[in-house]
Amino acid sequence: MDDISSILKEKGLKVTPQRLAIINMLRNTKEHPSAETIYKTLSSDFPTMSLATVYKTLEMLKNIGLVQELNVGEGSFRYDANVNSHPHLICYGCNRVDDLDDSALDDLLGEVSKYTDYLLKDQKLYFYGYCPECKNKKVN
């Protein structure tokens, strides 16, 4: 099921306002926020919440498979409530991080397996460039 409270209870985890806020924020954004961004965004609603709680919650959500951690090369992680490991697109212009269509992934894996004898299990794929908006604005 998709109801967070039920999932947490099933696992013997407590349902706290902070946890609900964090997972709900992640589920309602496409921005792939960092812990810091989550923290700041929720600060208005939870002024006393600490960054440590955000990290602990994210750790827990990772462990129960509700969230995945991304590393697009920024020195801090980003988080994604979409847990199937889909490719990402990162814009050099505006730093947005977009998802790449899932069906693209199948095609990519098909290509790779032509070139390696590895038994492939997972992947972290980051494509960098300019998003449709930025590629028009930019000079070169």
- Interacting residue ranges for a second copy, rule: CB under 8 A: 71-73, 87, 89, 91-92, 98, 100-101, 103-104, 107-108, 111-112, 114-132, 135
Among DNA, a second copy, none, what binds residue 13 when CB lies within 5 to 8 Å by partner kind? DNA
The DSSP line for 11-31 is TT----HHHHHHHHHHHT-SS
Report d(CA 122, CA 90) in Å as an integer: 20
Report d(CA 121, CA 88) in Å as an integer: 17
70, containing H or E segment = strand 68-70
Establish if 126 lies at the interface with DNA (CB under 7 A): no
The response to whether 94 counts as a known ligand-binding position is yes
Identity of the residue, 31 or 41, whose beta carbon is nearer to a second copy in the bound complex: 31
Q: Which tokens in the block code for residue 38?
A: 């989550």
Q: Which residues bind DNA (CB under 7 A)?
A: 5, 8-9, 12-19, 34-36, 46, 48-53, 55-60, 75-77
Binding site per annotation, positions for Zn(2+): 91, 94, 131, 134
